[in-house]
Amino acid sequence: MIKFFKKILNSEFLPMSEVRKLKVNVVMLFLFVVTLVTIPFSFFLDYSFLIKFLSLASFAIAYIICYFLIRFNKIFGAIQITMVYSLLLTVFYTQGISSFYAYIFFYITLTIIFFYQEIYSYFIYATVTLTLGVFYTLSYHDGLVTANDVPGSMYLYLGGLIIYYVISFIQIFGNEKFYADMNLEWVKLNNINNNYQEDILYHLEDMRIDMKKSLIYEDLEFQKAAFELSRFIADQIMKEGKDIVNLIDLYIYIHEKGLERILENDEISVAMKKTSNILGRYLLNENSDMFSLLISFYLKIRDTEPYEQNRYNYQIESITDLNDEQLIAFTFVFLYLYDEISETTKWHQLEDRDTLLDNVFANINQEDFFSEQLIAFYLDNKEVFKKRIKKN
Amino acid sequence: MKKDYFIYPQTKYYRETLELKHLKGQNNLVLSMIFGLMILTVTYMILSKYPFLPILAFGIAYLVIILFNIAAIAYGVENTYYLKFNKYITSITLFTLVLVKVIYFGSPSIIPFLFVAYAICSLYKDNKVLLTISFYFLFSMLMLIMNFKVIFDFENQVVIKDLAIGFFVIMFLLVLMFSTFIIIKEKTFFYNNVAYAKEKEYRNLDFLLDFKLKNKRNDFHQRNYYQDTEKILDDFSKKIEIPNVFSEKIQIIQDLEKSKDYQSILKEHPDFTEVDLKRLENLVINKKSKLRRTILKIKNSKLKNLKTKEIFSAIHFQSFNKQADSIDIKILCFVVYYVALKKGLPGMKSVSNKELYDTFVNSDFYHFIDPKVIRIFEENEDVFNTIIEDTISEVIDND
């Protein structure tokens, strides 16, 4: 249980897929408590013994199904079942008793459905809950009022429920947009970082060749240290050290042979291919997660300039605010990019160089780098630029 | 476990910027909801023929909150602390106002509006606000149950009244608290990762630029950029019939690239100041400069058409603590990572024990490693160091 609560506390370090799993677990825990309490509560509900028994048995079965769905990582299915489960629990309570407490159950169910932050599921299940809530309030109004209640209290109950539903809906809409925007920005940044790291990997390899050093995974000292340390960790968690040693052997083998060749080899077992595929994300000689995290560490220990407000601003305007200097800077950028593209363009595409540069400008968010005036300057003077480039 | 610092300390600044950007939108949303509640309350009281004075009192109370919000949003443009301050004040006053309404009307039908107030306050997505209103909520319910029993004096009495009310309210509060808490954490995940990726990009650019400037072997940029730029801008000046104002500055930038000292440049160009030179130094092309960073960034910023599946894929999250990976793989990843850092990549120094321990244990990196594995490292750091010293000959430890 402590591990579970720790996981909730540290959920900001979990990717969305794992948070969804965590959410189902939280709801499952909650439903478990409510279902357990429902057993003594059911004595006060207006149902026959058979109905009570069948209902509680169905809840138990649904709970078990949900448990197995989580176990086999079918999270979407588990989410749907927990939502239906809470909805049915609401029906069970509200149809068996006419009181304010049963009315609160609609809010509980709405909150559970809201918790998952799934817009379509919310629309379906929460709307059904709201409809049931409205129906319940209209039908069982007598159980909700006090002796000297305010006029129109029924409408207040209805209003509260509808407003709660609407606010939750607005929140989900807002969050959906927030998640999509932030995720997109994050993925774009990751892709750009990936490009940089591709270049860094290339430079490191160049440096290694210059230094006449062996590849790190071929280095016997590296291998020995990795074997010793993994055996030590395995011992500490009471695991068979042999498994880890075999895994490291496979890891080194993938580096030597290449992942694709291993996956194509019919003589290698499916299980080993599966493990190889996972290990492929952590290779040292590719732009992998492992390489990226190694670079992250080196970046951490490098000196960097102190933080200032426009640290991540790459606009030419942020470098200089004088128009003539911006034009000089833009011309530098143009010429430099032209050379970069020319170098990476194959000979048969030489005639397309001019259009290629246009493509570079078209494929970036120009506003991230250039002001409107600079873009206009380029468009108005394209011929001047091209004339000088061709002379080179 | 909250860690002492981010892997890159600068992350916290951009994270704050992101939070503030969204806080403005959240403030506006809350403001419009409170306005809606005010309209509903006043309309209900007028329709139910309540005396003028209470209608006026509730109307003014809502107006005060709204005006405070408007003022905070306006001042927030100048100083963002007003926006932060506003969320606490608004949450507490809104909750108090709804509680006053419950007591004034003496009806359980107003209690759901406490839930509504909670939902409105949770729009701020702030842990401190969440904690405050949760305690306030619990306190309010206990107070109502104990001191205002008449509110729960239903015509249709249920035997287990007190037990039921306590149980359901606590259940509701727990679900609400957990859901809001985890949703806040989800939001934090994105703030952290976007800020981390931004800072990583900044540092990657620096790192790559160092490589490019150091490794001239593959440099194919043989053009004289200063000369060609001058020609282009000269053509441009002629085209629009203005004097060439660019030549002198281009000459200065070229001199700066050659590391000519400021004093001799200023002597040759008396119209310029040291401030001008510092600014122009950012435009040099064959040295580390802001412009060179921009060029490198443009080159790598080509937009790729991303599919929704790719955007929401978990593969973007880099860690050695992935749920899908077995413990063996997690151990292997950590060990390979640790040894690679101790051994040092080509041209890179071996990382010191202190630096490694500090980053693994005290920074956010802690969460990138399996809890069992990191605990073993934390408790047996000496063993790790000994194994490395025994196996790797060139480890330099600058502790």
With beta carbons less than 8 A apart as the criterion, state whether B289 and B283 touch: yes
Q: Are B32 and B152 members of one domain?
A: yes
Looking at the fold, whether B171 and B259 belong to one and the same domain comes out as no
In a domain, A248, yes or no: yes
Query: Considering only alpha carbons, which residue of chain B is nearest residue A186?
Result: B194
- Residues A102, A178 within the same domain: yes
Q: Note whether A243 and A234 are within 8 A (CB).
A: yes
Backbone angles phi, psi at A146, to 5 degrees: -100, 175
- CB pair distance less than 8 Å for A388 and B217: no
Which residues in chain A have their CB less than 8 angstroms from residue B398's CB?
none
Same domain, A254 and A166: no
For residue B241, with 0-12 CB atoms within 10 Å meaning exposed, 13-18 middle and 19 or more buried, which class applies?
A: exposed
CB contact under 8 A, B211 and A199: yes
- Contact: B189, A190; criterion CB under 8 Å: no
Residues B71 and B172 in one domain: yes
> In this structure, are residues B102 and B151 in contact, taking their beta carbons and an 8 Å threshold?
yes
Q: Which B residues in the span 214-273 are in contact with A, Cβ-Cβ below 8 Å? A: 215, 217-218, 220-221, 223, 225, 228-229, 231-233, 235-236, 239, 245-246, 249-250, 253
B308 falls within a domain:
no
Q: Could you tell me if B67 lies within 8 Å of chain A, comparing CB atoms?
A: no
Can you give the pLDDT at residue A391?
Answer: 45
Average pLDDT, chain A: 86
Contact A41 B113 (CB under 8 A): no
Determine whether the interchain pair B202/A316 forms a contact, defined as Cβ–Cβ distance below 8 Å.
no
Classify residue A133: in a domain, yes or no.
yes
Q: How far is it, in rounded angstroms, from Cα A103 to Cα B152? A: 13
What's the pLDDT at A211? 84
Same domain, B109 and B230: no
A253 token code pair? 């083998």
Test the B interface: residue of A6, A146, A254, A375 with most B CBs within 10 Å: A146
- Answer yes or no: do A279 and A379 share one domain: no
In a domain, A49, yes or no: yes
Nearest C-alpha of chain B: how many angstroms from A237? 8
- Residue B367 has its nearest CB partner, among A13, A178, A239, at A13
Q: Which band of pLDDT confidence, cut at 50, 70 and 90, is reported for residue A148? A: confident
Q: Residue A267 and residue A249: Cα distance in Å, rounded?
A: 17
- Same domain flag for B146 and B238: no
In 3-state terms, what secondary structure has residue A229?
helix
Determine the distance in angstroms separating the CA of B195 from the nearest CA of chain A, rounded to an integer. 9
Which positions in chain A touch B312 (Cβ < 8 Å)? Answer: 16, 183
- Angstrom CA distances, A358 to A193, A355, A366, A379, stand at 23, 5, 11, 10
Same-domain check for residues B231 and B286: yes
Q: Choose the closest CB to A228 out of B105, B152, B387.
A: B387
Query: Which of these, B214, B283, B206, lies nearest to A304 by C-alpha position?
Result: B206
Both A289 and A329 in one domain: the answer is: no
Same domain, A79 and A223: no
Chain A within 8 Å of B139 (Cβ-Cβ)?
Answer: no
Residues 6+ positions from B130 with CB-CB distance below 8 Å = B121, B122, B177, B180, B181, B184
Angle CA B368–B373–B378, to nearest 5: 95
**How does pLDDT run across A302-334, given as a tens digit for each residue?**
888 888 888 999 999 999 989 999 999 999 998
CB contact (8 A) between residue B291 and residue A329: yes
Report the predicted TM-score, pTM, of the whole model to 2 decimal places: 0.86
Q: Of A361 and B330, which is predicted with more confidence?
A: B330
Give the percent of chain A with pLDDT over 90: 36
Residues contacting A177, CB < 8 A, separation 6+: none
- Other CB atoms within 10 A of residue B54 CB: 13
Q: State whether A10 and B1 contact (CB < 8 Å).
A: yes
- Choose the closest CB to A101 out of B165, B290, B294: B165
DSSP, res A14: S
Nearest C-alpha of chain A: how many angstroms from B396?
15
Q: CB-based contact (8 Å) between B368 and chain A?
A: yes
Do residues A79 and A125 make contact, with C-beta atoms less than 8 angstroms apart? no
How does pLDDT run across A186-198, given as a tens digit for each residue?
888 988 999 999 9
Over residues A157-171, the mean pLDDT reads 94
ipTM of the assembly? 0.85
Does residue B246 belong to any structural domain of this protein?
yes
Same domain? For B181 and B237 the reply is no
Cβ-contact A152, B46 below 8 angstroms: no
Residues 6+ apart with CB under 8 A from A85: A31, A59, A62, A63, A66
- Regarding whether A84 and A8 lie in a shared domain, the answer is yes
Number of domains in chain A: 3
- Tell me the shortest Cα–Cα distance from A208 to chain B, in angstroms: 5
Whose structure tokens read 């078990």?
A: A64
Q: How far is the C-alpha of B24 from the C-alpha of B29, rounded, in Å? A: 9
CB distance B182–A19 less than 8 Å? yes
- Are B7 and A157 an interchain contact pair (Cβ–Cβ within 8 Å)? no
Phi, psi of B369 (to 5 degrees): -115, 145
DSSP for A159-227, written as a single string? HHHHHHHHHHHHHHHHHHHHHHHHHHHHHHHHHHHHHHHHHHHHHHHHHHHHHTPPPGGG-HHHHHHHH
Q: Is residue A364 part of a domain?
A: yes
Interval B17-26: pLDDT, tens = 888 888 888 8
pLDDT band at residue A96 under the 50/70/90 scheme = low
| Residue at which a domain ends, from A254, A278, A301 | A301
Examine the domain organization and report whether B94 and B141 are in the same domain.
Answer: yes
Question: How far is the alpha carbon of B72 from chain A, nearest alpha carbon, in Å?
Answer: 22
- Do A7 and A111 fall into the same domain? yes
Domain boundary among B298, B333, B362: B298
Return the structure tokens found at A255.
């580096």
**Least Cα separation, residue B71 to chain A (angstroms):** 24
If asked whether residues A166 and A41 sit together in one domain, one would say yes
Q: Are residues A10 and A110 in the same domain?
A: yes
Rounded CA-CA distance B202/B380 in Å is: 35
As averages over each run of 10 residues, the pLDDT of chain B (399 residues) reads 72 89 89 95 93 94 95 88 90 94 91 93 90 90 83 65 73 88 89 92 92 71 82 88 88 90 90 91 89 89 67 73 88 94 85 90 89 92 91 66
What DSSP line would sit under A16-54, residue for residue?
Answer: HHHHHHHHHHHHHHHHHHHHHHHHHHGGGSS--HHHHHH
* B320: phi then psi, degrees, rounded to nearest 5: -105, 20
Q: Do B253 and B347 share a domain, yes or no?
A: no
| Full residue range of the structural domain in which residue B24 is found | 11-199
The answer on A381 and A258 residing in a single domain is: no
Distance of alpha carbon B390 from its chain centroid, rounded? 43
Q: Is A369 in Cβ contact with B7 (below 8 Å)?
A: no
Contact A30 B291 (CB under 8 A): no
Name chain A contacts of B272, Cβ cutoff 8 Å: none
Do B288 and B323 belong together in one domain? no
* Pick from B204, B249, B347: CB nearest A328: B249
Per-residue pLDDT tens over the stretch A174-229: 988 888 888 888 888 988 999 999 999 998 988 888 888 888 888 899 999 999 99
Residue A113 lies in a domain: yes
Partners of residue B160 in chain A, C-beta under 8 Å: 41, 44
Number of domains in chain B: 3
What is the distance between the alpha carbons of residues A74 and B114, in angstroms, rounded to a whole number? Answer: 36
Is residue B96 domain-shared with residue B147, that is, in the same domain? yes
Nearest residue to A107 via CA among A161, A56, A158: A161
DSSP for B75-112, written as a single string: HHTT-THHHHHHHHHHHHHHHHHHHHHHHHHT-GGGTH
For residues B165 and B224, the answer to whether their CB atoms sit within 8 Å is no
Whether residue B156 sits in one domain with residue B50: yes
A44, A213, A297: residue with CB nearest B158 = A44
Cβ pair A364, A341 in contact under 8 A:
no
Range of the domain at A284: 216-301
- Predicted confidence at residue B110, as pLDDT, reads 92
Q: Which of A111, A208, A360 sits opposite B172 (nearest CB)?
A: A111
User: Does A104 share its domain with A240?
Assistant: no
**Residue B2: what are its φ and ψ, rounded to 5°?**
-80, 130
The answer to whether residue A205 sits within a structural domain is no
Interface check for B22 against chain A (CB to CB < 8 A): the answer is yes
Q: What pLDDT is recorded for position B396? A: 55
Q: Considering only CB atoms, which chain A residues are within 8 Å of B156?
A: 98-99, 142-143
Same domain, A276 and A358: no
Decide if A18 is inside a domain.
yes
State which residue of chain A sits closest to B282, comparing Cα positions: A319
What's the one-letter identity of residue B347?
A: G
Distance from CA of B152 to the nearest CA of A (A): 7
Cβ–Cβ of A191/B245 closer than 8 Å? Answer: no
- Give SS3 for B120: helix
* Chain A residues inside the 8 Å CB shell of B208: 196, 199-200, 203
